[in-house]
Structure 1
Amino acid sequence: MKTSLLFLSFLLFAITHQLSFAIREPVLDIRGEPLRPYAEYYIMPTIFGPTGGGVFPGKAGNSTHPVNVLKSFFEVDLGKPVKFRYSAEIDFIPVDTYMNIEFAQTPEGVSSGNWMVVKDLGEAWTVGIGFSIDHKGYQTLEGVFKINKHGLGYKLSFLPYVNGPMSGDIGTYIDDDRNWRLVVTDEQPYEVLFIKVEVESS
């Protein structure tokens, strides 16, 4: 009897667990298909977002390697693809769920394509890649990102692993060197959409 009750309790938990994932809303790409963990996507502005193109790893400020996440000024430039790392046992990226973002290809001279934030623009926190070793002389924070609906598309938000006040939406800012940077902000977020990278068959 106890064994049967234990089994039924476990079965009920498993069903409830699966249903909770099933009813979660997926983030959709421009084709209306759910974003898949570890698939590659371009992050682009919506038609009502800022002009320009996609995001890519580049050099800004005093960086000697492409450790900053920048946005292209050119609308035809898709940027570089990213992957979304999500550990739950479901095959899509849900809305309002924390995950890691990384560039699909790590630039040469950088320890990782993983997104994080760095305080390298005065008091502003900007989005960079790698780890603290890649941003010597600046304060860095590793953390997670999430995607939420915003306007006609989505917005990205950041939350650090460590406790502290530094969290917020991801916006854009053009610095004094004319680099279009992604920054953590409590003002206007960067409204984006996602384009899946098509794998060419050989």
Structure 2
Amino acid sequence: MEKTMMFSFFLVALLSTNFFTGSSEPVLDTEGHPVRPGVKYYILPPYPGAGSGLTLAPNKGKCPYEIVQILSEPANGLPVTFSSANAHDKTIQLNTDLNIKFTDFKHTTPCHESKVWKFDASKQQFVTVGGVEGKPGPETLPNWFKIQKEHKDYKIQYCPTVCKKCRVICGDVGPVIYNNKKHLAVKESPLSVIFKKA
């Protein structure tokens, strides 16, 4: 990976083949049902007072748009769909490489990129849109995320394993206050989340 992928605050580079063992536990929504590919869900904090759902915000007139948490309450934000790197998966599993894509974004914007989540390896290390859906491999590493358990809830993590020979830096997706907005970035402290069917 490029030097810009290096985190000054987090883990040293790890071989993706050695980082995690597989897991067959399904991710559950707020009703206790398995989260399924292609179905719309809201990503929400698990308790009141922790903010609301997620949406997109302009990047000072530049593309792509950035992912932010809505500060006012209550608000579901934009729904997302999940798709696994294994197209045959009927449910979303813990510790599985997956794409996350916003749906129902109806605002007219000057940006025409996809609404697939992407890790931006710049200094801020924000999560943006503009990723590529599917095509797992070294060229699409920034587009793959995982869901992990976080106590009784969940967290989203960047630690792709779609390339067996690639070296990657792993980190949790959590909030960072920047320009009065609560951006999602890859960092040490995760944002605890739940998944509510839209």
Distance across 2 between alignment mates of 1:26 and 1:124: 32
Give unmatched runs, 5+ long, in structure 1: 1-20, 133-139, 198-202
Which stretch has the larger CA shift, 27-36 or 109-118?
Answer: 109-118
Q: Aligned partner of 2:80: which letter?
A: V
* Aligned residue pair count: 163
Map Cα deviations across residues 27-68 of structure 1 (whole Å, 9 max, x no partner).
Answer: 0001001001010010001128x71100111114x3445610
TM-score, length basis structure 1: 0.71
User: For residue 182 of structure 2, what is the aligned residue in structure 1?
Assistant: 180
Give unmatched runs, 5+ long, in structure 2: 1-21, 133-139
Query: 1:71: how far off?
Result: 0.4
Distance across 2 between alignment mates of 1:110 and 1:57: 13
Is the Cα contact below 8 Å between 2:116 and 2:143 reproduced in 1?
Answer: no
Which stretch has the larger CA shift, 78-87 or 156-165?
Answer: 156-165
Q: Aligned partner of 1:85: which letter?
A: S
Aligned counterpart in structure 1 of residue 78 of structure 2, from 51, 55, 80 = 80
Bigger RCO (CA 8 Å, 6+ sep): 2
Moved over 2 A (4+): 62-66, 105-110, 140-143, 159-167
Is the Cα contact below 8 Å between 2:28 and 2:195 reproduced in 1?
Answer: yes
What is the RMSD of the two structures over their aligned residues, measured on CA atoms? 2.7
Distance across 1 between alignment mates of 2:172 and 2:63: 25
User: For residue 33 of structure 1, what is the aligned residue in structure 2?
Assistant: 33
2:50 is the counterpart of 1:51: yes
User: For residue 65 of structure 2, what is the aligned residue in structure 1?
Assistant: 67
